[in-house]
Amino acid sequence: MQKLLENEATFLKSLEDSIDSLKEGMKSIDDSKDLDDNTKAYLKDETLELVSSIEQLFKDHRRFYTNLRKSVMFDSFEKKEK
């Protein structure tokens, strides 16, 4: 169970780092003087799509790890009841 929790924490940290990086990317897009407005709009849209994908990944991850923890914790009891 400890390894499961460590893996989950590592995964969540990587998602957090990715979101932080995307926030910095959005800021640099806004601050860029080398990009025209169309390019900025395109890059922002693509960044928001990435954020949406990461958000869905987070939701799927939570569901998976919740079910996995439930199985690890309670499957032995359910098997004894049968």
Supply the pLDDT for residue 14: 95
Handedness of CA 6, 10, 16, 20 (dihedral sign): positive
Interatomic CA distance for residues 5 and 43, integer angstroms: 35
How many of the other CB atoms lie within 10 Å of CB of 49?
Answer: 10
**How many domains is the chain partitioned into structurally?**
1
Residue 54: per-residue pLDDT: 96
In which domain, by residue range, is 59 found? 2-81
Q: What is the pLDDT along the chain (82 residues), one digit of tens a residue?
A: 788 889 889 999 999 999 999 999 999 999 999 999 999 999 999 999 999 999 999 999 999 988 888 888 888 777 776 6
Q: Which two tokens mark 8? A: 């989950």
